[in-house]
Structure 1
């Protein structure tokens, strides 16, 4: 893979591989049961990247996911849109070097009677229509198949190719149903659609062995399979559903969607277009400043100008005039379009060239893009950060769809603490508050994550809050020193983690030969196991060097049966296979360097053969992998602690890399917080025709020009907690904890199913005490909420580990009309929340009045 998977992507890939492996075993069993598996993730989650990782593991195996290669794996990628297939193929090529030469678009003439193992074939609905040369002459009725004619120059049809592939016992056909909600037909009375025939089989063509659906929602896949009238013998094994909270927390998606619209009636196209140009110019400057400070190539933000389906040439020409006037330094080729005509368009004196959607991201010279409807399904452009839409107010659906193409972050990571660079702006000249609210509702109810702590915030005319100069330096210093936790990974690999850490430390010249040092320590573990378990190892070596079998002999005359066993000496081929299996168990890198360690100084093949045998034998010992993992964790813990301060001097991109490496663990890991740089907040509320300013409070870490921060988004309990803390008299600063990023206090907790989640307490309060400046965690959270008890237990665990670094760690809920507090600095409270059956009981029995 050319991309490093985000934590949620790695978990989804691991879970999907487990299900596909079960599906394969299910199909190859005596029952030959066909099955389906689904992967669902919201828009922008990187479903194609996850699919690339899964397909790589199917073809070549994966040490990270403990998956052996399927030598007979064939993937048929199916959608109802040839353009979508081409975009998917392009993105698979971007994601995986290994797949690049194995991606085949099915075209006439197709001269293979079977699909070839190790390839991905792209097929769309039109290629299987009755008039298509690929299947011409094939009788698609439910009667016996006819072969009156065949595709030109080919004596078989593509249906025959599918039939031969499915019936070959050495092949396993995985059908990817891309955007599984499409192409299914609508009424049971309709003739079955092509995709239904693919799934269920028809005539003499067997059903698809394994259907792997990839879609944006669980409901879409379920609806698709229901519409396909899936036969009762197809078993749905599992739906791997990616948690939208984790997608948003990953930094892959922009945090904020900012909506601008006129507050009065009139024609404001020109005024708001100029506003959009100023915004994209401001973003260009902000990216240039950020990139210069980080030593990176600057992001070149793009503005999308969305026009009606039949735009007036005069209106578009006028818009281009405005763009050129407001942005005179714009290059001559900086404006392009993605209209369906695929040719240069003339608007007055302006000629605007066509650019294909998938090229826009890399064609950084294009700074303004003209578009009509939502740009082709499956395409996105992370550097598109401003949209001005000339669509009429009734077209909120089209606007929302296009916004869905613009929500990825340009660098595939969050710019920590910088809301301006983590947002996308949508300017709607033809909209008013009511219709803009419809866009907001569609965004929050669309494929984007939903809920208060899920998905991007939608902001209307926000103001940028900057660091508050009234806050003492000691507070900012303490903020950066506060402990926070990563979210554990389900499929963590300690050896891969320490290897990645070693490469990073060496690349940043913090520890020369880090990889060699790590491997030497892991070699020491293997040497120690060889000495400690010498007897077991000798037995394992004997097993590797011999091939055991059994013989059953029956005596027909006497009706007797004799069982016997035999052994043969393993040849080089058998030893190599045993080595490859052992190398997967202890990772190929460690196996390779350990072979070199054992055979050091030897120049004959026997030494390398003996080393391969020892690797294979060591992998058979149950103690080997746990011991290696434990040592890898020790090394990573030592190095992350040793270089903790030095890492803070690196660029933000490198710090983000180390944060990801730190998180590659099955347990919560300690990380430090990043300073917030700015935040966008709404400062007013529109009620009817009037505008009401939101309440504000002083001493927030980020504030407006008057040193105040709006609190209109706080609920009544949160406002009461805030005012109570301010009234105590020792408050130096407070911080409304954001819902994502390393500038957010985070701690890990396990939900009722045992899955790890992230808790981000509502408030941090910085107070002046006898011991100097100290921090308080205060989290108002209703005891009646379903996640309340799990979060209390997470707070208790966190306080048990890091409590001495805080003045107070408290959770608050309203009980019988009064706010009550659980103090997690008290051992009795921490012990109690681990035993009570619900959060309400904990508050009633062990809390005090707030």
Structure 2
């Protein structure tokens, strides 16, 4: 793959391959057992990239998988534009996939069967009952249905059908007639293994449950998509105050233009600060689904374009395009024409700033630049709006923006919705129809750190915080090579890549010396360079003339030695075997003998483990050595290092906590929908009970921080009030639950058997003499099943970093009394560790070692 998969994408790819191969094996043993594998992943998760990785590995193999001979893929969608976009993205993402064939894109198609190794794209319109390829004629020998059936007959489970946006195609039409998708996968020769991809899989799952297919689901956790930064955090919905006789269409278009220009300004400022190219945000105007030659519709488009041009200084008409199904230029009169552009081409056409759309972009469209939507749909059409918002939540830079949180949201202006009916759109998200990962916000509150917080920010930025591994870790030697490349390219460590190679070669020299000293090296060389041959001599009539015997020590030929070397290369990963072979040959070694030595080492399990451990050690040293320099890099570069750390097998210290710019808090759309945004803001300003002083980031109006109340935050409020009464308190920080601004403590989740993340609720900062010392105060209930695991995480963290803090206090409430554990105290930690090892409950530990808070 040219693209580097994120941890959750790699996990999903591996799981999909495993489930597909299981389904193939079941069918191969019993052709009555049809399989269905469903990939469920929210919009923005990178479903196409995941699927591309799967297809590439099935056809060509990888370091960890063997290729599956005769693999054929038929990729089906209901939209030719989506097919073209997906095919292009697939070729951009893969370094091996090249044989892609589009069916029904104007070209003829007449084949007895699909060819192995190829990926065919078919849109359902091309397979409709009126389409040419569905009927035999003098010019059409085989229908598409013949081709599909013949391919199943010839290649069985190696013929895979992938249906993108599968929730649209698997349900029956009104009246019970089959859809094109159903006819493909459940026709006269049912597809052995069907793969469905969907952001909203409920309908797909229900439909498959009624079919005679063994279904397996691979689910990408929505929180992992959020954490990745690939999608925006929040969606701000802006409906009309009320719906009267006048719908303020063009007024809302003007507001949307202003918001787009605000995004443009903020992106430009961010790009200048980070030293990268600015994002050119686009505005999407969703129009009613009416014919383009309808006079009222054309007048609406004319008024919308007028409003946009009036509000957008310097915008020219050529920067406005439409995606209407008619595909023809739209003449608005007065020598103004809006040109058509295919949806898949808009993202890269950065001169395009406004997109007029009906339905063409509600499914599968990929344009992360589109950050503002104004919908002129009627208020009864909730689902199309939710679906379109689901398309525009992607982050333009594919990462969360830490220094300007306003760039982590999208805006939707809905002039034909009032504040009550907009809740129906929210309901679509709650039901998963939009496939969105983002929080729906009514409005956002911005906070900045005043000048007097400069010393506190410096302390906060340097608090020890961890990157927690994803489920799919990468080989350590691969991570070392990637880290060396980053450090060298960023000018932080000259010749890092060659140093990494020399380091690994030296470690392999050590491993070879140790095996040689024990006499094992030659035995292992002999084992990998020779074969055992079984002989049984018989006569022509089948009589045994000479009994069975085994001939050992038969030397492999050059080709087979190369095969063994390739096996070792797969074991040692990322060119380590090849580099060591070159090292041995460079010392006047024989190329064949060098391959045998490398194979002997690479196929010895403990040698590979030792090399991985050595690579991990150097990675840890280099991250520690360059932590400060990495923390000063632009966000995009820090993001690369962060992702590399997340691929480790163990948690690792990250370079620092981001403290620049503004932070935001979203006010939920569900709060009192009958009041205006301004009255809501004033009510929040008057909410004295929930506005707190001394937060690191403060409202510019009064220097306060509004902490949203909830039914379960009683202990938090009590703790916060107690901390504010401490005369040494300089400031406090509401630690977020993720992102570069959060202080993260790792712990091993024994129930899930994986690393997890703990985010202490509060970080407080105290004046102790001339110093500013931080403290952790973390109020939590202890009733959850992972409480003991989290306590172990605190013990490990404090063992390493207690000296960085004034105190570390997990706080809970037992029998109405608040108590804390002094985790910064070594003696207390020892007692807690012993109690946890003995299986003592968390409540008993708090009772035995807790101090009154």
Give yes or no for TM over 0.5. yes
State whether structure 2 residue 697 is matched by structure 1 residue 702: yes
Q: Cα deviation per residue 1:674-699 (whole Å; 9 max; x = unaligned)?
A: 11411233579647557432432222
Instruction: Give the Cα–Cα distance (whole angstroms) in 2 for the partners of residues 538 and 170 of structure 1.
Output: 46
Change over 3 Å in CA distance of 1:651–1:688 after alignment to 2: closer
Instruction: Give the Cα–Cα distance (whole angstroms) in 2 for the partners of residues 530 and 411 of structure 1.
Output: 46
Partner of 1:143: none
Partner of 1:520: 502
Provide the secondary structure at the position in 1 that maps to 2:506: helix
Question: Which one of 79, 84, 99 corresponds to residue 82 of structure 2?
Answer: 84
Partner of 2:441: 459
Question: Which one of 274, 297, 300 corresponds to residue 277 of structure 2?
Answer: 297
Range moving further from structure 2, 586-595 or 707-716? 707-716
Partner of 2:521: 537
Question: Which one of 823, 827, 832 corresponds to residue 829 of structure 1?
Answer: 832
Change over 3 Å in CA distance of 1:750–1:37 after alignment to 2: farther
Q: Cα deviation per residue 1:688-741 (whole Å; 9 max; x = unaligned)?
A: 557432432222122121211112345333222222211122211111222331
Structure 2 residue ranges without an equivalent (≥5): 291-295
Range moving further from structure 2, 698-707 or 186-195? 186-195
CA contact (8 A) 2:231 2:395 kept: yes
Q: Map 1:776-787 onto structure 2 (within 5 A).
A: 776-787=775-786
Q: Map 1:262-661 onto structure 2 (within 5 A).
A: 262-263=240-241, 267-310=247-290, 312-347=297-332, 349=334, 350-373=336-359, 375-446=361-432, 455-471=437-453, 473-492=454-473, 493-534=475-516, 535-551=519-535, 562-567=547-552, 568-600=554-586, 602=588, 607-661=590-644
Instruction: Give the Cα–Cα distance (whole angstroms) in 2 for the partners of residues 531 and 771 of structure 1.
Output: 56
State whether structure 2 residue 721 is matched by structure 1 residue 740: no
Change over 3 Å in CA distance of 1:758–1:163 after alignment to 2: same
State whether structure 2 residue 65 is matched by structure 1 residue 70: no
Partner of 1:12: 12
Range moving further from structure 2, 253-262 or 397-406? 253-262
User: By how many angstroms is 1:254 displaced?
Assistant: 0.7
Provide the secondary structure at the position in 1 that maps to 2:163: strand
Instruction: Give the Cα–Cα distance (whole angstroms) in 1 for the partners of residues 158 and 640 of structure 2.
Output: 37
Q: Cα deviation per residue 1:545-572 (whole Å; 9 max; x = unaligned)?
A: 3232334568999999953323543222
State whether structure 2 residue 46 is matched by structure 1 residue 46: yes
Q: Map 1:744-759 onto structure 2 (within 5 A).
A: 744-751=742-749, 752-759=751-758
Instruction: Give the Cα–Cα distance (whole angstroms) in 2 for the partners of residues 847 and 589 of structure 1.
Output: 53
Q: Cα deviation per residue 1:91-143 (whole Å; 9 max; x = unaligned)?
A: 2123224224445547775454443332212234455556554453xxxxxxx
Question: Which one of 207, 212, 221 corresponds to residue 243 of structure 1?
Answer: 221
CA contact (8 A) 1:781 1:788 kept: no
CA contact (8 A) 1:307 1:389 kept: yes
Q: Cα deviation per residue 1:370-428 (whole Å; 9 max; x = unaligned)?
A: 22347241112211111222223333322211110111111001111421111111222
Instruction: Give the Cα–Cα distance (whole angstroms) in 2 for the partners of residues 837 and 561 of structure 1.
Output: 70
State whether structure 2 residue 237 is matched by structure 1 residue 259: yes
Change over 3 Å in CA distance of 1:208–1:618 after alignment to 2: farther
Partner of 1:764: 763
**Taking structure 1 as the reference length, what is the TM-score of the superposition?**
0.89
Q: Cα deviation per residue 1:468-524 (whole Å; 9 max; x = unaligned)?
A: 3342x2211111111111121333211110010011111112222211111111111
Provide the secondary structure at the position in 1 that maps to 2:89: helix
CA contact (8 A) 2:324 2:360 kept: no
Structure 1 residue ranges without an equivalent (≥5): 137-149
Change over 3 Å in CA distance of 1:620–1:633 after alignment to 2: same
CA contact (8 A) 2:731 2:766 kept: yes
Provide the secondary structure at the position in 1 that maps to 2:767: strand
Instruction: Give the Cα–Cα distance (whole angstroms) in 1 for the partners of residues 762 and 430 of structure 2.
Output: 25
Change over 3 Å in CA distance of 1:791–1:348 after alignment to 2: farther
Partner of 1:674: 658
CA contact (8 A) 1:313 1:348 kept: no
Change over 3 Å in CA distance of 1:420–1:298 after alignment to 2: same
Instruction: Give the Cα–Cα distance (whole angstroms) in 1 for the partners of residues 378 and 174 of structure 2.
Output: 37
User: By how many angstroms is 1:84 displaced?
Assistant: 3.1
CA contact (8 A) 1:200 1:230 kept: no
CA contact (8 A) 1:836 1:842 kept: no
CA contact (8 A) 1:218 1:239 kept: no
State whether structure 2 residue 94 is matched by structure 1 residue 96: yes
Instruction: Give the Cα–Cα distance (whole angstroms) in 1 for the partners of residues 126 and 315 of structure 2.
Output: 44
Q: Cα deviation per residue 1:217-253 (whole Å; 9 max; x = unaligned)?
A: 55444323224x125xxx44x4221111111011111
Alpha-carbon RMSD: 3.1
Change over 3 Å in CA distance of 1:843–1:341 after alignment to 2: farther
User: By how many angstroms is 1:2 displaced?
Assistant: 2.7
Provide the secondary structure at the position in 1 that maps to 2:318: coil
Change over 3 Å in CA distance of 1:29–1:566 after alignment to 2: farther
Change over 3 Å in CA distance of 1:193–1:531 after alignment to 2: same
Change over 3 Å in CA distance of 1:88–1:699 after alignment to 2: same
Question: Which one of 711, 729, 732 corresponds to residue 707 of structure 2?
Answer: 711
CA contact (8 A) 2:775 2:808 kept: yes
Instruction: Give the Cα–Cα distance (whole angstroms) in 1 for the partners of residues 260 and 173 of structure 2.
Output: 47
CA contact (8 A) 2:363 2:387 kept: no
User: By how many angstroms is 1:332 displaced?
Assistant: 3.6
Instruction: Give the Cα–Cα distance (whole angstroms) in 1 for the partners of residues 166 and 499 of structure 2.
Output: 48
Partner of 1:797: 796
User: By how many angstroms is 1:744 displaced?
Assistant: 1.3
CA contact (8 A) 2:386 2:433 kept: no
User: By how many angstroms is 1:785 displaced?
Assistant: 4.1
Between the two proteins, the alignment pairs up a number of residues equal to 819
CA contact (8 A) 1:489 1:667 kept: no
**Taking structure 2 as the reference length, what is the TM-score of the superposition?**
0.88
Change over 3 Å in CA distance of 1:33–1:767 after alignment to 2: same
CA contact (8 A) 2:75 2:162 kept: yes
Q: Cα deviation per residue 1:439-484 (whole Å; 9 max; x = unaligned)?
A: 233334325689xxxx43322132322223342x221111111111
Change over 3 Å in CA distance of 1:725–1:10 after alignment to 2: same
Q: Map 1:157-196 onto structure 2 (within 5 A).
A: 157-168=143-154, 172-186=158-172, 190=176, 195-196=181-182
Q: Which runs of 4+ in 1 moved over 6 A?
A: 553-561
Partner of 1:214: 197
Provide the secondary structure at the position in 2 that maps to 1:409: coil
Range moving further from structure 2, 417-426 or 401-410? 417-426
Partner of 2:293: none
Range moving further from structure 2, 548-557 or 300-309? 548-557
Provide the secondary structure at the position in 2 that maps to 1:98: coil
